[in-house]
């Protein structure tokens, strides 16, 4: 009964959005045009979610129904972009056992995720490495390099050491040239994948100047583009301002991580900018009102800089409110979501750089071990689910408006051509020739 109701929910949403789905039926790669995403020639604004666990869970065929349920529930609420991990380095159930040695079962899990996302019209942002130790991260690459005799003193040497960087480049090439065992499509030719992400939240605290991260992003962006010319690329940044914009550092939380929102995103191979937003972590001792006030400034400053300085699209790739926070209420979480969504929609509606947001994180029922306080189980959170669905619908209406404008423009061009043809045919008759 539950699965029938879920299928009905998805069907109702699809029927409501039928006109737009017809516009996007001939699926293509998401591209950029100035400050906007474009899909099939139409500006593309989208609401989305994080689900880092997709490949991990899908690697067990008996658990794949959870991926299908998550995508169905997401589609039923108008969510069309998902961000997830395309890495798991060393440790338990890895994707990469050791440099260049891969776990086919885990890869087949990722194959299923991509195939299933395509069925529900969900585009994917696939992250290629982690800054942190979970799922291996840069520490695992440094440990592997040490095992080959490299003298490395810090996990940040991942960004500097040629051996560690070589291992990472090999992982990039292996993932991008993987042929999906279900669809038969090579990942770099798969339009369901919207973008690659170099790393989840790259940080190099040993070099607060930002030069190390700048050089690493430049090198790796160039390498990704040499392998895959179809997909968009982003760096995985949280949005902290660096030394190239000292006047903006007042808007940072009170720490430096060696990244630079402006300089890093000006690198030619980076197609769009990203921002993460966790005021409850950054100002845990502050009131909810203070956190929301910071968030408003944080959002608006990045939107303005993406629009006026970077001239690139801006995707808010992580935001959330933890239920483990002192004094937490669903109302507070809904307020935070509304704050993020309002900033995005206001920018999108006026032709600005904000193209969408992705909350952390979506779970489906029966995944209690994955709960981290930030989880959203849509069936358990009706008020938040409603906030999410409303944003999806507002962005859908924007896309529909752009689709109609495009059709009007095409009609006007066709009419002008027909008039010119008629004039040329009748010109001779009118002159008596």
- 329 inside domain: no
**pLDDT score at 27:** 81
**pLDDT score at 431:** 56
- 421 inside domain: no
**pLDDT score at 404:** 77
- 330 inside domain: no
- 13 inside domain: no
Count of domains observed in the chain: 1
- pTM comes to 0.90
CATH number for 138: 3.20.20.80
Q: Mean pLDDT per segment of 10 residues, for the chain of length 433 residues?
A: 41 44 62 96 95 99 98 98 98 97 99 98 98 98 98 98 99 99 98 99 97 99 99 99 94 92 98 98 94 97 98 99 94 98 97 98 96 97 98 95 70 62 67 54
- 210 inside domain: yes
**pLDDT score at 427:** 67
- 334 inside domain: no
- Whether 318 is catalytic: yes
**pLDDT score at 402:** 85
Which one is catalytic: 116, 201, 234, 238?
Answer: 201
- 410 inside domain: no
- Whether 375 is catalytic: no
Which one is catalytic: 73, 234, 238, 318?
Answer: 318
Q: Which domain holds residue 178?
A: 47-322+339-393
Three-state SS letters, the chain: CHHHHHHHHHHHHHHHCHHHHHHCCCCCCCEEECCEEEECCEECCEEEEECCCHHHHHCCHHHHHHHHHHHHHHHHCCCCEEEEECCCECCCCCCEEECCEECHHHHHHHHHHHHHHHHCCCEEEEECCECCCCCCHHHHHHHHHHHCCCCCCCHHHHHCCHHHHHHHHHHHHHHHCCECCCCCCEHHHCCCEEEEECCECCCCCCCCCCHHHHHHHHHHHHHHHHHCCCCEEECCCCCCCCCCCHHHHHHCCCCCCCCCHHHHHCCCCCCCEEEEECHHHHCCCCCHHHHHHHHHHHHHHHHHHHHHHHCCCEEEEEECCCCCCCCCCHHHHHHHHHHHHHHHHHHHHCCCCEEEEEECCEECCCCHHHCCCCCEEHHHCHHHHHHHHHHHHHHHHHHHHHHHHHHHHHHHHHHHHHHHHHHHHHHHHHHCC
- 416 inside domain: no
């Amino acid at each position: 009964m539950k699965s029938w109701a879920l299928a009905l929910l998805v069907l109702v949403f699809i029927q409501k959005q039928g006109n737009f789905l017809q516009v996007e039926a001939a699926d293509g790669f998401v591209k950029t045009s100035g400050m906007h995403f474009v899909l099939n020639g139409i500006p593309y604004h989208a609401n989305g979610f994080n689900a880092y666990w997709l490949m991990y869970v899908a690697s067990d065929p008996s658990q794949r129904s959870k991926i299908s349920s998550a995508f169905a529930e997401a589609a039923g609420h108008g969510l069309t972009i998902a961000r997830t991990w395309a890495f798991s380095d060393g440790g338990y159930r890895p994707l990469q056992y050791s440099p260049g040695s891969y776990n086919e079962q885990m890869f087949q899990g990722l194959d299923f995720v991509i195939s299933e996302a395509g069925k529900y019209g969900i585009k994917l942002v696939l992250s290629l490495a982690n800054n942190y130790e979970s799922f291996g991260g840069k520490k695992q690459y440094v440990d592997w390099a040490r095992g080959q005799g490299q003298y490395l003193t810090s996990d940040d040497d991942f960004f500097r050491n040629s051996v560690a960087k070589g291992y990472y480049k090999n992982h990039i090439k292996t993932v991008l040239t993987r042929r999906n065992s279900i669809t038969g499509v090579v990942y770099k030719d798969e339009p369901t994948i919207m973008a690659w992400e170099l790393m989840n939240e790259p940080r190099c605290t040993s070099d607060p100047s930002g030069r190390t991260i700048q050089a690493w992003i430049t090198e790796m962006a160039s390498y990704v583009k040499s392998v895959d010319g179809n997909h968009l690329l982003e760096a995985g940044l949280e949005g902290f301002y660096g030394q190239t914009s000292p006047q903006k550092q007042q808007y940072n939380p009170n720490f430096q991580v060696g990244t630079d929102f402006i300089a890093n995103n000006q690198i030619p191979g980076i197609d769009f900018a990203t921002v993460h937003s966790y005021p409850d972590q950054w100002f845990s001792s502050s009131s909810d009102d203070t956190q929301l006030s910071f968030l408003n400034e944080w959002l608006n400053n990045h939107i303005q800089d993406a629009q006026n300085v970077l001239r690139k699209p801006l995707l808010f790739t992580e935001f959330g409110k933890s239920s483990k926070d002192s004094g937490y209420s669903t109302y507070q979480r809904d307020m935070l979501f509304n704050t993020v969504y309002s900033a995005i929609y206001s920018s999108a509606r006026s032709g600005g750089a904000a193209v969408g947001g992705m909350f952390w994180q979506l779970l489906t029922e029966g995944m209690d071990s994955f709960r981290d306080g930030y989880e959203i189980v849509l069936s358990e959170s009706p008020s938040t689910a409603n906030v999410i669905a409303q944003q999806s619908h507002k962005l859908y209406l924007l896309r529909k408006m752009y689709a109609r404008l495009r059709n009007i423009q095409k009609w006007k061009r066709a009419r002008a051509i027909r008039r010119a043809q008629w004039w040329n045919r009748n010109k001779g008759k009118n002159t008596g020739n």
